[in-house]
Amino acid sequence: MNILIENAETQEFLAGDGRWTKKSSQGATFASTRAAQTAAKKEPIGKFNIVGQFGASEQLFNLDCGTGKGASPGPPAL
């Protein structure tokens, strides 16, 4: 089983290089839901899902959810 981090708002997956991708097959995999949740909480995103995927199946199932550090703040308003 692959354990992935999904941005709940964009439905993109965190890739190994730190970018986000629409393809679950390109998502970074984690050894446990705890490891995935720890990594997700450090990301500048709002809500996230920890999802599981068996083999090459396109079907995903939610294992856990949470909130990251939030969106990166933009420039200050003038």
Contact 67, 55 (CB under 8 A): no
**Residue 77 is assigned to a structural domain of this protein:** no
Token pair recorded at residue 53? 């995927």
Residue 75 domain-assigned (yes or no): no
Domain interval for residue 48: 2-67
Structural domains counted in the chain: 1
Per-residue pLDDT of the chain (78 residues; tens, 9 = 90+): 999 999 999 999 999 999 999 999 999 999 999 999 999 999 988 899 999 999 878 889 999 888 888 764 444 455
Residue 58 lies in a domain: yes
Strands 47-53 and 20-21: unpaired
Query: Which pLDDT belongs to residue 68?
Result: 85
Whether residue 38 lies inside any domain: the answer is: yes
Between CA 29 and CA 24 the distance in angstroms is 10
**Does residue 73 form part of some domain?**
no
pTM (predicted TM-score): 0.84
